[in-house]
């Protein structure tokens, strides 16, 4: 999906340049966001479904590598709306919690573990049975967005489209795993050291479509479908890199002035 990145960036730059002359600060808001996404394991060469076959996310024989991935964000923002009431420029601050997990399930054999590479040399290769690996990341981010309203006042419902990007800084990461055999816990540290960590900083572009409910200048509610489609740099999320995702953002906005 990286082919969408350039048009979105051009759109943001052009829109900001074109409307920067007539910004009027009008709204502050609070928001909550949840995104679920499908992902690809970044270190597939270390994982096998059995000792003779390399692992894959899915194959026709029915082997599954489950990658449960989602993130939630909470934040605040300010929206500056142009005199024409068509474009909005949003700058904010967000806290994001991201969780990725890798597990295995083969229903007809009841196998609930995969093999993870432990050590390898010219004479010997050792694997350990792992039930699940979980990675939790916490970020602070600055989103920058451009919003276009199809129509606004005096309507009580105003649809819009939005494009933006969020620069995130990683505050904390924690990786844990569950061994298939509890007697093998002494080997956990070696695997944890090997699991890829997220980058300290990354940029996540996204697009969305939503509706603003409520008649200004009273407080309004915004409900939005949100689709992230890339991350810069690649593999910046750690052990699972998103392929595609979607979610919902809900915001409450409050006017700073009544003469919009």
What own/partner pairs with CB < 8 Å and gap ≥ 24 does 7-16 have? Answer: 8/163, 8/165, 8/205, 8/207, 9/165, 9/205, 11/146, 11/163, 12/144, 12/146, 12/163, 12/164, 12/165, 15/87, 15/89, 15/146, 15/148, 16/89, 16/146
Asked if residue 1 has pLDDT above 50, the reply is no
Q: pTM surpassing 0.85?
A: no
Q: What is the pLDDT of residue 190?
A: 84
Note the pLDDT tens digit of each residue in 104-124.
Answer: 877 666 778 888 888 888 788
Asked if residue 9 has pLDDT above 80, the reply is no
| Mean pLDDT score, 202-206 | 93
| Mean pLDDT score, 73-86 | 88
Q: Which residue has the higher pLDDT, 83 or 160?
A: 160
């Amino acid at each position: 999906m990286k082919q969408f990145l350039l048009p979105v960036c051009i759109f943001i730059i052009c829109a900001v340049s074109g409307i920067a002359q007539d910004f009027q600060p009008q709204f502050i808001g609070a928001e909550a966001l949840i995104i679920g996404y499908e992902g690809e394991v970044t270190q597939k060469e270390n994982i096998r479904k059995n000792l003779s076959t390399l692992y894959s996310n899915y194959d026709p024989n029915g082997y599954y590598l489950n990658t449960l991935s989602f993130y939630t964000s909470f934040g605040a923002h300010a929206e500056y709306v142009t005199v024409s009431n068509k474009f909005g420029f949003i700058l904010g601050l967000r806290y994001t919690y991201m969780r990725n997990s890798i597990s295995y399930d083969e229903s007809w054999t009841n196998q609930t573990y995969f093999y993870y590479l432990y050590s390898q040399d010219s004479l010997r290769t050792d694997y350990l049975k792992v039930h699940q690996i979980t990675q939790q990341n916490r970020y602070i981010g600055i989103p920058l967005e451009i919003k276009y309203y199809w129509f606004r006042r005096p309507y009580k419902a105003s649809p819009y489209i939005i494009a933006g990007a969020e620069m995130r800084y990683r505050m904390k990461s924690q990786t844990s795993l569950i061994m298939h055999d509890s007697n093998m816990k002494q080997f956990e540290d070696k695997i944890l050291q090997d699991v890829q960590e997220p980058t300290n900083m990354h940029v996540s572009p996204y697009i969305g479509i939503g509706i603003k409910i409520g008649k200004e200048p009273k407080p309004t509610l915004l409900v939005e479908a949100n689709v992230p489609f890339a991350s810069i740099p690649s593999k910046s999320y750690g052990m699972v890199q998103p392929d595609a995702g979607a979610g919902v953002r809900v915001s409450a906005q409050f006017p700073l002035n009544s003469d919009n």
